[in-house]
Amino acid sequence: MPPSRSRRLVGPPNWRPPEELRRTLYILAIALGLVVVLFLNVLTYRSGDVNLYVQVVLPVTMIPALISLGWLLRDGPLDVPERLMFFTVNVQVFAQALLEEMQRTAPAGETDLLYWSVVVNVMLGYLIFPNRVAGWYSAGLFGFSAGLPWLGVALRGSVVSPDLPRLQLTVGIVLLFVHALSWYRGQFEAQRSAVRVMQRLAHTDLLTNLPNRRGMYPAVEALLASGGGALLLDLDHFKRVNDTFGHQVGDEVLERAARLLEAQVPPGGRVGRWGGEEFLMTLPGLDAPAAGALAEAVCRAFRTQTMVDVGVVTISAGLTLTRPGDTLPILVARADEHLYVAKRAGRDGWADRMAADGPGAAGSGPAFPDV
């Protein structure tokens, strides 16, 4: 399977991934280029002029263009045609510069087409390659295009236009400006990436890769606004696991617990590590019976799962529904009270009320007075 098909971004209707847009743009650009080359050849042959660049160089360099077009239509990776076409365009620029110098009849510098072709090529280089590589390429290409007319002066006594130094200086300044913009863009992207990493570290538990307490705050606030349930969970006898098997095994148990909990999260919900061996799961939109059924499913998932080197590690849960006037501390405190009911009733279950009739039993009847 081509790499370009291995990962498809999913977006809203009528949304197209950036890679697909680039592919379409490349296909259209190459197709248009082929039409332009064909048109130029027809005009050249009709005029009877000998133009080696149009009649020889462009048709030859269209071979890589056809290869790139076929590659794109077969959904191949984009980096291959990007580099192939970049190389092709550079061959065209070098060939154009050499042919112009060899066939020059007017003073060098009277036309600026070549130099602005250099600018376009350099900008493409900054889009494809790292800033350092593109910078060296920019310096080399500018040095070649700027030095070629003066080499003609030294070797052949060619005449240069008085405007040539001004043109070369202008192009050089433009290229320096392009390099500065690219450098700034690289610095900006690096800083933005660092900020994203710091934000992720600040809101993610590195062991379980779940949101940490701070990362769960937005989910709880959204739950309070929309309504639903909250499930505070605690691994049973986890200290005994650490004391008996060591903290490394304990960490593995926490990681496995995180995966089990992720598998139980309802649509729109979220689960995070609240602290230590405690986890918090939001259940937006669920009423008491549905939330109770999910709490029981979570306990059953742990009850039937064997942890490596440890055996079965059960979990206890405190369930509560949101109430008018709830805040985050109030909601979590109520779930914590229900969790302790489940713990006192023997663990390996859940409770949703301040009652002593056992974990899960509080959720088995038709009424949920205390959730």
pLDDT tens column, 134-191: 899 889 888 888 887 787 777 666 667 777 788 888 888 988 998 998 888 888 888 8
Q: What is the pTM of this model?
A: 0.55
Task: Assess whether 271 and 347 both reside in one domain.
Answer: yes
Q: What is the mean pLDDT of residues 289-299?
A: 95
Per cent of the chain over pLDDT 90 is 40
Which pLDDT belongs to residue 371?
54
Give yes or no for residue 197 having a pLDDT over 90: no
Give yes or no for residue 259 having a pLDDT over 90: yes
- Boundary residue ending a domain (150, 181, 202): 202
| 127 belongs to a structural domain | yes
- Boundary residue ending a domain (179, 202, 225): 202
Task: Assess whether 65 and 93 both reside in one domain.
Answer: yes
Which pLDDT belongs to residue 220?
96
What three-state secondary structure class fits 324? Answer: coil
Task: Assess whether 146 and 242 both reside in one domain.
Answer: no
- For the record, the structure tokens of 195 come out as 């900020």
Q: Which domain holds residue 166?
A: 3-202
Q: What are the beta bridge partners of residue 279?
A: 233, 273
Dist. CA 290–CA 199, nearest whole Å: 34
Q: What is the mean pLDDT of residues 365-370?
A: 40
Task: Assess whether 137 and 188 both reside in one domain.
Answer: yes
CATH assignment at residue 248: 3.30.70.270
Give the residue among 332, 363, 340 at the shortest CA–CA distance from 231: 332
Q: What are the beta bridge partners of residue 164?
A: none
CB 275 within 8 A of CB 213: yes
Dist. CA 39–CA 186, nearest whole Å: 40
Task: Assess whether 84 and 166 both reside in one domain.
Answer: yes
Which pLDDT belongs to residue 342?
95
Task: Assess whether 46 and 160 both reside in one domain.
Answer: yes
State the pLDDT confidence band at 48, using cuts at 50, 70 and 90.
Answer: confident
Task: Assess whether 196 and 224 both reside in one domain.
Answer: no
- For the record, the structure tokens of 245 come out as 């098997």
Total count of domains within the chain? 2
- Boundary residue ending a domain (144, 174, 202): 202
Most confident segment among 15-24, 120-129, 327-336: 327-336
Q: Give phi and psi for 2, each to the nearest 5.
A: -60, 145
